[in-house]
């Protein structure tokens, strides 16, 4: 703290108030107090740092850069190093990856702190230099073999290089991260690949419903190898799992959390995502993926809801429960050129708070996006899947609707942002995709117009072909 503020009771009081407001999440109030202090004492590094912290919480990254540079200019070398590191992190937010890389490399050369290698590797990754990112992660792991964050960050890069065995081994290490440990329920010792002959195993869910649907591609192999497999899932998935995995015992996640319906005769347990670590160790092993299926009776029932003359297209336009404008989501207004194409029955597959947007499409543009309460993402996924299985195409953000459609073998178009819009980046994303899924990309800094145009061209091509 500068000598002036330190010796000024009024400013000390304001700084304490500003800090308290920050701790309570009242960032705007804290910013106003910081500006009052800076107006009187323009050389105070602590106040500039607090100002930068508040601005960072509000994603005002350009202003963060200015505040941090001010703070750094009023610190000695030792005191400035954490601020310089924060400036590098802010350059990542600003997508100024070369600037970030320069800062992190300079800091590492001065301090030798292995943790900074994480930031250097991430900068290379954002620049699309996956080979350099991989090499830096390997260097970090030589210095710190138990750095589980480095292993977790390394796994998608190794997938890009088709080094599946080491990739999934790195992914498996996520269970050692503290945030994973805090949320896991262990009912038996962890399975690490030993024989399952005569063993009862529990497959436990993790992450979101979409992630768990992707991991179902390995379930049949574990079920066949074990004496008895128990699978835990969200209650919405229970019927779908029971139909597809009749030789396993399916438990509702909600029941398990209440300590009910779990076998007391368990020998081993594994997280659903770690099945890849044991069953998807080569490119050839992906041929073992089996689609999920829906009963013909249920499919026919839901087919009666759909048009016999129009293209039947499912739509899910945002990632999460609320459309908060995150980088993985669109609005229906943005999709308007697509939605105006004639000859299409649009089906709502969106989960969460979608009603206002759908009603606005009907009221403002006379565009109907049909919703069926008895086969929605909020209900039973067997019914939801039966509706999806009858569709000609699904257009979706990266979410459960997209993953269910690809696991059912329905043609699917996914839209997503890509930090480095390059052929290498596209190949990295595409290698994670299921057969029948097509990915459409935009750069993080641009809007979705180019992607919407690609959708329109693709859809018009389908309609033209069908007419012929």
DSSP state letters, 176-243: GSHHHHHH---SSPBP-S---TT-EEEEE--S-HHHHHHHGGGHHHHHHHSSEEEEEE-GGGHHHHHH
- Taking only the tens place, the pLDDT of each residue in 110-120 is 999 999 999 99
Q: State yes or no: pLDDT of 121 exceeds 70.
A: yes
* Boundary-marking domain end, from 162, 178, 194: 178
Q: State yes or no: pLDDT of 336 exceeds 90.
A: yes
Q: State yes or no: pLDDT of 3 exceeds 70.
A: no
Residue 450 structural domain? 296-467
pLDDT value, residue 466: 67
Q: Are residues 7 and 133 in the same domain?
A: yes
CATH number of the CATH domain containing 267: 3.40.50
* Boundary-marking domain end, from 178, 201, 217: 178
Q: Are residues 277 and 412 in the same domain?
A: no
Report the percentage of the chain scoring pLDDT > 70.
91
Those residues whose C-beta lies under 8 Å from the C-beta of residue 441, and which sit 6 or more positions away, are 415, 416, 417, 418, 421, 425, 426, 429, 451
Q: Are residues 306 and 206 in the same domain?
A: no
Q: Are residues 259 and 311 in the same domain?
A: no
CB atoms within 10 A of CB 167: 22
Q: Are residues 124 and 226 in the same domain?
A: no
Q: Are residues 142 and 190 in the same domain?
A: no
Strands 412-418 and 437-443: parallel
Distance in angstroms (rounded) separating the CA atoms of residues 368 and 362: 5
The owner of tokens 């995709």 is: 433
Q: Are residues 233 and 357 in the same domain?
A: no
* Boundary-marking domain end, from 158, 178, 198: 178
CATH number of the CATH domain containing 409: 3.40.50.2000
Q: What is the DSSP track for 105-133? A: HHHHHHH--TTHHHHHHHHHHHTT-HHHH
Average pLDDT of span 76-105: 92
- Six-digit token pair at 446? 């641009």
Q: Are residues 269 and 363 in the same domain?
A: no
Distance in angstroms (rounded) separating the CA atoms of residues 463 and 302: 23
Contact 74, 43 (CB under 8 A): yes
| Banded pLDDT at 164 (limits 50, 70, 90) | confident
Q: Are residues 326 and 416 in the same domain?
A: yes
| Banded pLDDT at 424 (limits 50, 70, 90) | very low
Q: Are residues 349 and 273 in the same domain?
A: no
φ, ψ for residue 399 (rounded to 5)? Answer: -155, -170
Q: In what order do the strands lie in the sheet with 393-396?
A: 369-370, 344-348, 311-316, 393-396, 412-418, 437-443
| Banded pLDDT at 184 (limits 50, 70, 90) | confident
Residue with the larger pLDDT of the pair 31 and 169: 31
Cα dihedral 53/56/61/64 (nearest 10): -10
Distance in angstroms (rounded) separating the CA atoms of residues 352 and 344: 24
| Banded pLDDT at 431 (limits 50, 70, 90) | very low
- Taking only the tens place, the pLDDT of each residue in 38-48 is 998 888 899 99
The owner of tokens 């991260």 is: 177
Q: What is the mean pLDDT of the chain?
A: 88
| Banded pLDDT at 430 (limits 50, 70, 90) | very low
- Taking only the tens place, the pLDDT of each residue in 405-419 is 999 999 999 998 865
pLDDT value, residue 423: 42
Distance in angstroms (rounded) separating the CA atoms of residues 114 and 421: 29
Selection from 71-75, 84-88, 155-159, 416-420 with the highest mean pLDDT: 84-88
Would you give the DSSP letter of residue 396? E
CB atoms within 10 A of CB 234: 16
Query: What is the Cα 457 distance to its own chain's centre?
Result: 28
CB atoms within 10 A of CB 60: 17
The domain tally of the chain equals: 3
Task: Please choose, from the candidates 196, 189, 205, 192, the residue with its C-alpha nearest in 3D space to the C-alpha of residue 277.
Answer: 192
- Taking only the tens place, the pLDDT of each residue in 227-251 is 999 999 999 999 999 999 999 999 9
Distance in angstroms (rounded) separating the CA atoms of residues 50 and 448: 35
Contact 318, 350 (CB under 8 A): yes
Task: Please choose, from the candidates 381, 376, 438, 437, the residue with its C-alpha nearest in 3D space to the C-alpha of residue 406.
Answer: 437
CA atoms within 13 A on the CB side of 16: 7
| Banded pLDDT at 89 (limits 50, 70, 90) | very high
- Six-digit token pair at 23? 């701790």
Strands 200-204 and 268-271: parallel
CB atoms within 10 A of CB 301: 16
Angle at 96 between CA 95 and CA 101, to 5 degrees: 115
Strands 311-316 and 249-252: unpaired
Q: Are residues 18 and 50 in the same domain?
A: yes
pLDDT value, residue 95: 85
- Six-digit token pair at 6? 């330190």
Q: Are residues 325 and 446 in the same domain?
A: yes
Would you give the DSSP letter of residue 463? H
- Taking only the tens place, the pLDDT of each residue in 345-354 is 999 999 999 9
């Amino acid at each position: 703290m500068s000598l002036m503020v330190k010796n000024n009771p009024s400013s000390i009081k304001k700084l304490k108030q500003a800090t308290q407001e920050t701790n309570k999440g009242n960032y705007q109030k804290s910013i106003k107090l910081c500006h009052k202090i800076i107006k009187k004492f323009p050389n105070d590094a602590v106040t500039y740092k607090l100002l930068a912290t508040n601005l960072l919480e509000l994603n005002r990254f350009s202003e963060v850069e200015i505040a941090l540079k001010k703070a750094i200019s009023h610190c000695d070398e030792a005191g400035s190093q954490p601020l310089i590191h924060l400036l590098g992190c802010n350059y990542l937010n600003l997508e100024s990856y070369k600037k970030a890389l320069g800062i992190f490399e300079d800091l590492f050369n001065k301090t030798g702190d292995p943790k900074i290698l994480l930031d250097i590797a991430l900068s290379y990754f954002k620049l699309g230099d996956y080979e350099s990112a991989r090499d830096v992660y390997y260097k970090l792991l030589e210095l710190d073999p138990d750095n589980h964050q480095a292993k977790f960050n390394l796994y998608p890069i190794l997938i890009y290089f088709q080094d599946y065995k080491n990739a999934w081994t790195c992914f498996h290490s996520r269970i050692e991260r503290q945030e994973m440990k805090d949320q896991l329920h262990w009912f038996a010792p962890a399975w690490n690949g030993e024989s399952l002959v005569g063993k009862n195993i529990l497959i436990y869910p993790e992450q979101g419903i979409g992630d768990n649907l992707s991991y179902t591609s390995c379930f049949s192999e574990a079920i066949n190898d074990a004496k008895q497999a128990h699978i835990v899932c969200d209650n919405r998935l229970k019927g779908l799992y029971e139909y597809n995995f009749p030789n396993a015992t399916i438990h509702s996640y909600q029941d398990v959390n209440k300590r009910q319906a779990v076998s007391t005769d368990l020998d081993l347990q594994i997280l659903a995502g770690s099945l890849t670590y044991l069953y998807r160790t080569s490119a050839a092993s992906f041929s073992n993926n089996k689609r999920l299926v829906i009963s013909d009776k249920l499919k026919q029932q839901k087919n009666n809801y759909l048009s016999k003359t129009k293209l039947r297209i499912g739509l899910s336009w945002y990632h999460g429960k609320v459309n908060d404008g995150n980088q993985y989501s669109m609005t229906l207004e943005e999709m308007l050129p697509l939605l105006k194409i004639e000859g299409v029955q649009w089906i709502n597959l969106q989960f969460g708070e979608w009603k206002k947007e759908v009603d606005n499409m009907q009221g403002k543009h006379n565009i109907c996006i049909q919703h069926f309460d008895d086969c929605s993402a909020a209900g039973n996924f067997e019914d939801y899947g039966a509706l999806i299985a009858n569709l000609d195409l699904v257009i979706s953000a990266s979410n459960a609707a997209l993953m269910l459609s690809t696991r059912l073998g329905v043609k699917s178009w996914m839209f997503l942002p890509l930090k480095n819009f390059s052929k290498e980046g596209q190949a990295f994303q595409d290698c994670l995709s299921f057969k029948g899924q097509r990915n459409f990309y935009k750069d993080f800094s641009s809007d979705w117009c180019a992607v919407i145009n690609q959708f329109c061209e693709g859809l018009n091509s389908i309609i033209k072909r069908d007419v012929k």
